[in-house]
Copies of this chain bind each other. A is one copy, B any other.
Amino acid sequence: MQRTNFGEMACSIARTLDVIGEPWSPLVLRDVWAGLTRFEQLQADLGISRKVLTERLNHLVERGVLERRPYDRRPRYEYVLTDKGAELVDLLMVMVRWGDKWLAGDAGPPVLYLHHACGEISRGELRCAHCGEPMHAGNVDLLPGPGAAA
């Protein structure tokens, strides 16, 4: 439903949700990242209603996360990640890490991630951009920033 407009809030979490917070959006992004870039592919893989898929794709294109581009002289289009969208994949990888740890159960993770730099199966981990040490809930303090609400 989400009639409330998260985009207006003075909070980067809420604003990010305004872009990819709707149901299905992260899964659409995942599929595009994985190489499923066409309407029919997405619809078939996700089992999403065509109406909702249309709405989500339009929304993601409007927000600059995906780019819609023709791949044929017939009216055929594919959706690809923009730079802005590619950076959202970080978010997906953190979701994967948490889901793998807490929800995968005995079967183990459904997907593995091979890191090019080291050639190993690995996973993403959050570290401080400044000192490189781990950065988690318990070791940060929140302070009001310049864009804080009055």
A89 is an interface residue with CB less than 8 A from chain B: yes
Contact with B along A121-136 (1 / 0, CB 8 A): 1111111111111111
A120 is an interface residue with CB less than 8 A from chain B: yes
Are the CB atoms of B103 and A131 closer together than 8 Å? no
Copies in the assembly, this chain: 2
A108 is an interface residue with CB less than 8 A from chain B: yes
Number of interface residues of A (CB under 8 A): 88
A75 is an interface residue with CB less than 8 A from chain B: no
**Which of A89, A113, A126, A133 is packed against the most chain B CB atoms within 10 Å?**
A126
Are the CB atoms of B138 and A118 closer together than 8 Å? no
Q: A92 CA to B7 CA in the complex, in Å?
A: 16
Pick the contact of A125: B30, B102, B111, B129 (CB < 8 A): B129
Are the CB atoms of B103 and A98 closer together than 8 Å? no
Are the CB atoms of B121 and A143 closer together than 8 Å? yes
Residues from chain B with a CB closer than 8 A to the CB of A84 are 102
**How near does chain B come to A61, taking the closest CB pair, in angstroms?**
15
Residues of A within 8 A of B (CB): 1-2, 4, 6-7, 10-17, 19, 21-23, 26-27, 30, 33-34, 47-48, 81, 84, 86-105, 107-118, 120-149
Report the 4 A-B pairs with minimum CB-CB distance, sorted nearest first: A12-B99, A108-B146, A118-B131, A89-B137
